[in-house]
Amino acid sequence: MKNSIYAFMLVMMMLSITSCSTKLAYNNLDWLASWYVDDYVNLTDSQEDEFDTKLDAFLVWHRNIELQNYILQIKAIQADFNKGVTLSDIESYVTSVKTFLDVALTKAEPEVVALAYSLSDQQAGSFLVEFEQQNLDKIERFEQESKERRTEKRLEKFEEQLSSFIGRLNAQQKKLLNDGNNQLLSSFQERIQFRRQWADSIRGAYVIRARSLGDTDKKKKGFELALKQSILELNSLRSDKYSNILDHNQRVRVNTLYQIITSLNEKQLKHLNEKINEIIGDLEALL
């Protein structure tokens, strides 16, 4: 749903679930998802059973249908990297990833809405309180660091992610990464505003549910229509300023990535191919 896309463009691009192996992370998505939900709301036993059942079904669908598409896309990216990637190629990868995410969200949306509808007013209220507390925690951490330190940490993270794919960066590549990092605009305030707008859209769905009288099906339909925006229409909740910042930062990242990829030496390209082959092998083992 959200924003940053640097590591994902360098090959998970499609599914980089990071430092542990892709296969291990994917095989534990059911546990990770349950753990994540528990951070926000305490489900009843029946809700948890229903959640687990629906999540298992979603993962079966994803494994049987979507993973093959990811593998094909990653192989196409690998071929481009080896024959000579263009800026438009990398831009198309971003579009592909967004498409994959949209497909997954569209598939999951009915079950997410059903789970949300099953929450009591107290559970929904607890979720919103916890979500706002996380906003406040983010704001506190943000204000405790200087702009310079935040910029430095972002660069360190980018370099760590990139080096995991291509090996040690040379001086020229570090400069390219640093120059790109310095061009990025802060979106923190706008992101917090977006998160609160998102929470308000969810709150609005529960207000509709509470106010609806009579026909249960009609009440449920009103809730579903209201909540749909919170899941499938996120762009409508972003301010123009936030959208513009995200677009700017994406252009900077794509351009920086293009410059770095086209600067790879033979050793780095070999390292990249090995990393891609490892991810492809992990994904193919899941089929």
Q: What is the pLDDT of residue 200?
A: 94
Does residue 249 lie within any of the structural domains?
yes
Average pLDDT of the chain?
84
End-to-end CA distance of the chain: 25
Q: Residue 227 belongs to what domain range?
A: 7-286
Question: What's the rounded mean pLDDT across residues 78-82?
Answer: 90
Does residue 150 lie within any of the structural domains?
yes
Radius of gyration of the chain (CA): 21
Does residue 260 lie within any of the structural domains?
yes
How confident is the model over 130-188, as pLDDT tens digits? 999 999 999 999 999 999 999 999 999 889 888 988 999 999 999 999 999 999 999 99
Place of tokens 């998802």: 33
**pLDDT above 50 for 128:** yes
Number of domains in the chain: 1
Give the lowest-confidence range in 27-41, 221-235, 265-279: 27-41
Does residue 152 lie within any of the structural domains?
yes
**pLDDT above 60 for 266:** yes
How confident is the model over 17-45, as pLDDT tens digits? 333 455 655 665 565 566 567 778 888 98
Q: What is the pLDDT of residue 35?
A: 55
Q: What is the pLDDT of residue 141?
A: 96
SS3 label, residue 172: helix
Does residue 225 lie within any of the structural domains?
yes
Does residue 93 lie within any of the structural domains?
yes
Surface-to-core class of residue 171, CB atoms within 10 Å of its CB (0-12 exposed, 13-18 middle, 19+ buried):
exposed
Does residue 2 lie within any of the structural domains?
no
**pLDDT above 60 for 193:** yes
Does residue 1 lie within any of the structural domains?
no
Phi and psi angles of residue 134, each rounded to the nearest 5 degrees, phi first: -65, -35
How confident is the model over 202-215, as pLDDT tens digits? 999 999 888 876 67
How confident is the model over 103-116, as pLDDT tens digits? 888 888 888 888 88
